[in-house]
A and B are shown apart, each in its own frame.
Chain A
Amino acid sequence: MSAARVGVVTFPGTLDDQDAARAVRHAGGEAVPLWHADPDLKGVDAVFLPGGFSYGDYLRCGAISRFAPLMEELIPAARAGLPVLGTCNGFQILCEAHLLPGALMRNASLHYICRDQGVVVENTATPWTADFTEGQRIVLPIKHGEGRYVADEATLAALEANGQVVFRYVGNPNGSLNDIAGIRNEAGNIVGLMPHPEHAVEDLTGAPSTDGRGFFTSILKKLVNA
């Protein structure tokens, strides 16, 4: 049986693509590089939109990336059920592309913040979080200047009612509404979060936690069993 293939997207200014690919490989999957200018998903089984400063965060974080040629393929595929995970800038891009509701604004402190952050898993009904248990407390690094999640009241209420809040911060670092660290779409195949699971998969490097592994084992099990 060939390994599950997870696409890792590189936009100009993407920074965590190498880390995302490594995390996929460590979990036993095949990481397939996807290039922003190439409208070809290469038949991957899932897509990881990593963090960084795509297009320098000019205009608004993620605002330019959503128009990349690759996104013309990715957006309909995601709507049709392709599992997609966006972390940090990837989350911002998913919001800008309207694959996820709401927006990410400047941190309340007005400072960029890099720290190891406690996060509670609120929802495991996604292909990216199935290996966690609901209510499980994990540690993942955050590193962002614009991670304050906002949405209008109706959207927030719907997210809460539908179980679409996937992660909540323990000790809100950035002023996000309802302590939201990550959400999913209604169908559950698209997940976006500000923390970085790909920086918490090895003992030697990255955050003093390997809790990020759960994302990658979840998706690979899902793909292998599909």
Chain B
Amino acid sequence: MNLDTVKRAADTPGERQPYAELGMKRDEYDRVREILGRRPTSSELAIYSVMWSEHCSYKSSKVHLRQFGTKAPKSDALLVGMGENAGVVDVGDGWAATFKIESHNHPSYVEPHQGAATGVGGIVRDIMSMGARPIAVMDSLRFGGADQPDTRRVLPGVVEGISHYGNCLGLPNIGGEVVFDPCYIGNPLVNALCVGLLRKDQIKLATAPGPGNKVVLFGALTGPDGIGGASVLASATFEDESQAKRPSVQVGDPFMEKLLIECCLELYQADVVVGIQDLGAAGVSCATTELAAKGTGGMDVQLDLVPLRDPSLRPEEILMSESQERMMAVVTPDDIDAFMAICTKWDIPATVIGEVTDTGRLVMTWHGETIVDIPPGTAADEGPVYERPFAEPAGQAALNAASAAELPRPEDLRATLLQLFGSPNLASKEWVTSQYDRYVRGNTVLAQPADAGVLRISEAMPGAEETTRGIALATDGNGRYARLDPYAGAQLALSEAYRNVAVTGATPLAVTNCLNFGSPEDPEVMWQFAEAVRGLADACKILGVPVTGGNVSFYNQTGSTAIHPTPVVGVLGVIDDVAKRVRSGFTGEGDRVVLLGETREELSGSEWAHVAHGHLGGLPPVADLEAERALALVLTEAASRGLLTGSHDLSDGGLAVALAEACLARGVGCAVSLPGDDAFVDLFSESAARALVTVRPEAFDALAELCAAHEVPCYGLGGTGGGTLAVEGVLEIPVAELREVHEGALPAVFG
């Protein structure tokens, strides 16, 4: 068996290398040869192929994503922006929050349980590596039609994976989404979000400065997980038994991750970490190149010191392994004993595998022989960048012309509401959320089915100032809207998440996003992507909330059929006094029910068009961002003045569904009349920038004045109380009937 050393590579320039099997284009491979002045060794090829993959390098998306920086609104809250493991925002009183959403779509289709579980694990480690304690997770999930057989394989597995990993890790799951649409049948979307808290002065970065500092790999042992590509490489280069079938989906151990969290926090507390990076996609390759590139510039690594779960692993496989629950830290020689002692306390294996140098080279040896010698920045930061061609899809104009305004309208609005309320997208998601622990750690103020999750923050970290503040988080996305108009669709996703945060009384502060699209090599998909990014960047500027980080997931398609373009947006907000958060829905009898915002006839892309007619066409609702901003100002000010007794945002299914959900929150009914002259439009239109609130009758005038000051339309609809949802002259439905329809739907499908 030959070890492909740097010397051997120099001596055998003509040796054929499996760059194509590793997903590299010929010109990319040639560029590696040019950088190195020779052919890469097989280990170097492993590093470049994973670091220059779409997933790690953002080579197709980079030119568009730059707008999130160039158009970013000025924000005093932003402490760490894009480019680090996760963004960090100042939430006041010496506290900072870090949050990010990331996809694990493809693994969750192949192996739903482990795919979704390791999605949670990965995003949690991103948050840990910023120096934070992870405090909550949420999941934005999309599946094929609820009645499609494969959904019954994928959904229960995904939910169980999230449930098992997140619950065992001890992080409350406080919200998210579950959406069904046949376009996701071969490509479920599993987007996991984590939020963490830290003291402002405790931010850690992925950097390896200081020659002589030690590089420590700690956490789980390295095994043959997720290295299908490396097997190709090994088999092309070697003739040995390590080519046995390798699992291509990683397997998670949440117990190890829980220990890693507590261990990392103790390491931060003891101040023995100079730089830190989690090992996710591209494992050791990514961690070493990125740490070295952002530090003094060089690193020596003895790759044979990496502790292995499978001793037959070859160096190329170690470099590409995506074994979970691993971290890499840079530690000064003086602190190394203290570092190791803390790892021992938590039973965490930790091994010094190298040290920082000032050579500008990442050098790796395998039992004394040099197998990697590269400038780390060329792998980490200087990957290829593509200006992919894009073009409006051929049928786009025809699609936009087929408005839902032409569809036949129902006579019986009672039946229509019940039909929608029991349809999979609008039905209760308790079948899913009851499998998640929403209480652990004792700081959960609001969780599903509230519009946003809200957490108390005062007890997260030792040594931080006491505070009354809380944070709110919501994720939203609407693939149908984005299919009709990706520019507006991305803006509407942001609008809804922003509004969901505001209805709790919190002020929206910052944005994370997960951009789920088809193949970037398809110009029509690339157009959708370019439009969505442009729309989101423009909207962030108007709403004054910067993008702090996120993730792009391409190639979500089966054959040549792509999913609906699905930008999922997460918004984080802050509430100064978390005790003043507004509860969801109708919270008591005798309150005034008030509709805020303007209702237009906007039915294209709506749940009604989808459920009643299977129709998708026309243009989505207008994304009126100024109105959205004004509405949020009213909501947050009303909450801080204690005017509101309950709230709920209007979105999918319009006012009808919002009223029905508000009734179910505490089993309190209402009697309302509609403000407009078309009951159907009033009830089912999905105009944005609207919310439902309740106030004590004596507070109504103060709310109306506040609305007038911000030019937000305000309609008193009626009052809460009784056991029915009654819309004068239109419909009356007992709350119990609403509940039966709403809560029975998913159990009927999934058991």
Q: What are the residues of chain A within 8 A of B445 when measuring CB–CB? A: 204-205
Q: How far is the CB of B168 from chain A (nearest CB, A)?
A: 4
Contact between A12 and B444, CB atoms less than 8 A apart? no
The answer to whether the Cβ of A7 comes within 8 Å of any Cβ in the partner chain is no
A13, A141, A205: the one within 8 Å of B259 (CB): A13
A205–B164 CA distance with the chains assembled, in angstroms: 23
Contact between A114 and B168, CB atoms less than 8 A apart? no
Q: How far is the CB of B175 from chain A (nearest CB, A)?
A: 14
The answer to whether the Cβ of B212 comes within 8 Å of any Cβ in the partner chain is no
Residues 255-275 of chain B, each 1 if its beta carbon lies under 8 Å from chain A, else 0: 110110000000000000000
By CB atoms of chain B within 10 A, which of A13, A22, A114, A141 has the most? A114
Contact between B437 and A114, CB atoms less than 8 A apart? yes
Contact between A18 and B439, CB atoms less than 8 A apart? no
> Given that A19-B441, A22-B442, A22-B459 are contacting pairs, would A56 and B434 also be in contact in the complex, using a CB cutoff of 8 Å?
no
User: Which B322-355 residues have C-beta < 8 A from chain A?
Assistant: 346-347
Contact between B442 and A198, CB atoms less than 8 A apart? yes
Q: What are the residues of chain B within 8 A of A198 when measuring CB–CB? A: 442
> Given that A53-B167, A114-B434, A206-B444 are contacting pairs, would A143 and B439 also be in contact in the complex, using a CB cutoff of 8 Å?
yes
Q: How far is the CB of B668 from chain A (nearest CB, A)?
A: 14
The answer to whether the Cβ of B716 comes within 8 Å of any Cβ in the partner chain is no
Q: What are the residues of chain A within 8 A of B440 when measuring CB–CB? A: 15-16, 19, 143
Contact between A15 and B258, CB atoms less than 8 A apart? yes
A206–B163 CA distance with the chains assembled, in angstroms: 18
Contact between B168 and A53, CB atoms less than 8 A apart? yes
A190–B530 CA distance with the chains assembled, in angstroms: 63
B255, B256, B438, B443: the one within 8 Å of A114 (CB): B438
A12, A141, A199, A202: the one within 8 Å of B347 (CB): A12
Residues 137-154 of chain A, each 1 if its beta carbon lies under 8 Å from chain B, else 0: 000010101000000000
User: Which B113-163 residues have C-beta < 8 A from chain A?
Assistant: 160, 163
Q: How far is the CB of A117 from chain B (nearest CB, A)?
A: 11
Interface size on B, residues (CB 8 A): 31
Q: What are the residues of chain B within 8 A of A53 when measuring CB–CB? A: 167-168, 170, 254-255, 258
By CB atoms of chain A within 10 A, which of B164, B347, B439, B445 has the most? B439
Q: How far is the CB of B76 from chain A (nearest CB, A)?
A: 28
> Given that A52-B170, A53-B254, A58-B255 are contacting pairs, would A114 and B441 also be in contact in the complex, using a CB cutoff of 8 Å?
no
Q: What are the residues of chain A within 8 A of B170 when measuring CB–CB? A: 15-16, 52-53
Q: What are the residues of chain B within 8 A of A141 when measuring CB–CB? A: 439
Q: What are the residues of chain A within 8 A of B381 when measuring CB–CB? A: none
Q: How far is the CB of A42 from chain B (nearest CB, A)?
A: 18
The answer to whether the Cβ of B435 comes within 8 Å of any Cβ in the partner chain is yes
Q: How far is the CB of B8 from chain A (nearest CB, A)?
A: 43
The answer to whether the Cβ of B483 comes within 8 Å of any Cβ in the partner chain is no
Interface residues of B (CB under 8 A from A): 160, 163-164, 167-168, 170, 253-256, 258-259, 346-347, 433-445, 456, 459, 578-579
A-B contact pairs, 30 of them (CB 8 A): A12-B258, A12-B259, A13-B168, A13-B258, A15-B441, A18-B441, A18-B442, A19-B440, A19-B442, A22-B459, A53-B168, A53-B255, A55-B255, A56-B168, A111-B163, A112-B163, A113-B434, A114-B434, A114-B437, A114-B439, A143-B167, A143-B439, A143-B440, A145-B164, A198-B442, A202-B442, A205-B443, A205-B444, A205-B445, A206-B439
